[in-house]
Amino acid sequence: MRKLLLAVVFVSALTETYAHDNLKSAKKFSSFVVQPRTNNSFTLSIAQVQALNKIGELSQGLQQSSYYKNVSPDTFISQLTDRIINPYMLNQGKTLFCWAAAPVAYFYDQSPVNMVEAVFNLYASGTFRFFNGNEYLSLTPGNRSVCAVGSETFSKNSDPLSGKVVDQMVLLTFADSYKCWINIDHRFNPGDQRKAIWAGATLNKEKRVWRDFGINVKKHGSDMLWAKKNKADILKDAIDQNKAVVLYINAAYFNKKADKIRMMRRRPPFITTGSHYILVKGFEKKQDEYRITFWDDDGLQNYSISPDLFQRSVFGIVAFTKEGLAMNTTNETGMVD
């Protein structure tokens, strides 16, 4: 009973503080957004070229999926190709899938061949199978999630996921496969992608996803009440050690939404929670502000925030070394015309 009450309080706070602040953050507060590469002439890493060759190999004789009946082979191949070329243009849309979008975008970039094989397997056999170096991460979504792909579920309210059927396939697979204590609803219905009780994620759930990808992660913080540690120093140390970092933030504080901040301050402090995950690419401490480069929605953002707001915004940090991954490096590239 106590756990159920805590879940209700947490989900209520998460849903309210999340709102849609983070979904439109790129347009609201970024000083620049990295544009997608054009199809005329661009530089790809060797890993990306290998992944595109793998798509060509696996697409030979590809038949209509008996699982994803709303996704034609041509559309599947076209959209997967685009995601390999532009991994960080992945947009979670109007969903609570940020916790899944961060590792998915990261591994499209860092291990594109493995992702191609996993997503092809999902289309052909209904199971996402990603080889993490030691074993396969195997995820099989339920029939309701499968049928939602390419349907009207994502076509309302100008959702950025509308028409992005490959992204829908992968994100719904993760959301249907990973559950935590706030996910008291285990049966997908259209609209559940925007509800914390089905689609939300705690910090431990985020850690579990990265671990299942074969990564040895270190977690700092919690879903609530992580206030005493110097979070900026922890983040800077991780970035200085060339670690990949995911921040678990409260979107209202991070996006400087004054009205929602006032609303949260009227509540007991324990109700304030993290509500959004971002993938950090760079961090710099200035005397009176912090500069953060991070991935969110469909682009890289360059953002400044005061030390006080940063301390209030961050509820968790997930960090890991990049060793053992199929890294995309600037000195190993191939030209595609």
335: in domain: no
Residue 41 has pLDDT above 90, yes or no: no
**Do 93 and 224 have their domain in common?**
no
Query: Residue 107: CB partners within 8 Å, gap ≥ 6?
Result: 114, 115, 130, 213
**Do 70 and 154 have their domain in common?**
yes
Residue 241 has pLDDT above 60, yes or no: yes
**Do 159 and 220 have their domain in common?**
no
Question: 167-207 pLDDT, tens per residue?
Answer: 999 999 999 999 999 999 999 999 999 999 999 999 999 99
325: in domain: no
Instruction: Determine the pLDDT at residue 337.
Output: 28
329: in domain: no
Domain count, the chain: 2
**Do 121 and 7 have their domain in common?**
yes
- Tell me the pairing of strands 314-320 and 290-296: unpaired
> Which own/partner contact pairs does 186-192 have at CB distance under 8 Å and 24+ positions apart?
187/144, 188/142, 188/144, 188/145, 188/148, 189/144, 190/148, 190/151, 190/152, 190/153, 191/153
Question: 79-120 pLDDT, tens per residue?
Answer: 999 999 999 999 998 899 999 999 999 999 999 999 999 999
CA–CA distance, 196 with 24 (Å, rounded to integer) = 18
Contact 69, 144 (CB under 8 A): no
**Do 92 and 187 have their domain in common?**
yes
User: Which band of pLDDT confidence, cut at 50, 70 and 90, is reported for residue 159?
Assistant: confident
**Do 179 and 77 have their domain in common?**
yes
The token pair that represents 103 in the structure block: 């590792």
92: in domain: yes
**Do 154 and 298 have their domain in common?**
no
- Structural domain for 137, as ranges: 2-26+39-202
